[in-house]
Amino acid sequence: MIKHNYHIVLLGAPGSGKGTLAKHLVTKYGFRHLSTGDMFRKVIAENTPLGKQLKDIVANGALVDDNITNAVMKEQLLNLVDHNINFILDGYPRTTTQAEFLDKIAKPNLILLIDVEKELAIKRIIGRRLCPKCGAIYNVYFKKPKVSSVCDYDGEFLIQRKDDNRDTVSNRFDLYQEVTSELVEYYHGTGNLYRIDANNGIETILPEVIKLIEQ
């Protein structure tokens, strides 16, 4: 049982399993999950000038500018705080500038630093396949469909995101490690930062995270 309101930040490189962990916590506790990746993809799909700019940045595996990221997140965050809703931030903040912006709206009271080895993270992403109809997620290395390239549930052909390629993912991983070291130091002094070893998958880390939340 949750004893107080939660503003949770998930820190982790691409492929660390932030999204999977967030989905489990949403199911168990009803947290609202905000993923910058999902939000950026929505803006890109709208094909606005901002969307076109974001598309080029994401395709190259680069980080989105702090001002743009904060602008995309601001309205969503204010709405959650105004309605006293517990939330999980996945992929935000990624820099100390973004963390300082977040603190002005809602200081996080639990920061989970999810560690994963680079090659494992790359396999998790480049092996990912999605069903365009039901949204089911598979992986050619770890969770294969019963029939190759076909969804188990509706028979749709599975797709791969264009930016889920080795070069892009490797660049994103290295960039994350470079940028986030300063952010980890920023949160270290709060006493709310916990390091989680995610190399063994969700079955191992979920009980550990649940214990932190319910302690």
Residue 132's identity, in one-letter code, is: P
Of 23, 52, 94, 118, catalytic: 94
Our answer to whether residue 128 is catalytic in this structure is yes
DSSP character string of 119-155: HHHHHHHHTEEE-TTT--EEETTTB--SBTTB-TTT-
Of 23, 32, 74, 161, catalytic: 161
Q: Write the CA distances from 105 to 98, 111, 159, 192, integer angstroms.
A: 11, 16, 37, 17
Our answer to whether residue 172 is catalytic in this structure is yes
Q: How many CA atoms lie within 13 A of 112 on its CB side?
A: 29
How many CB atoms within 10 Å of residue 189? 8
Of 55, 123, 128, 129, catalytic: 128
Our answer to whether residue 161 is catalytic in this structure is yes
Our answer to whether residue 195 is catalytic in this structure is no
Q: How many CA atoms lie within 13 A of 10 on its CB side?
A: 27
Of 123, 124, 129, 172, catalytic: 172
Our answer to whether residue 18 is catalytic in this structure is yes
Of 18, 123, 124, 129, catalytic: 18
Which residues are known catalytic residues? Answer: 18, 94, 128, 161, 172
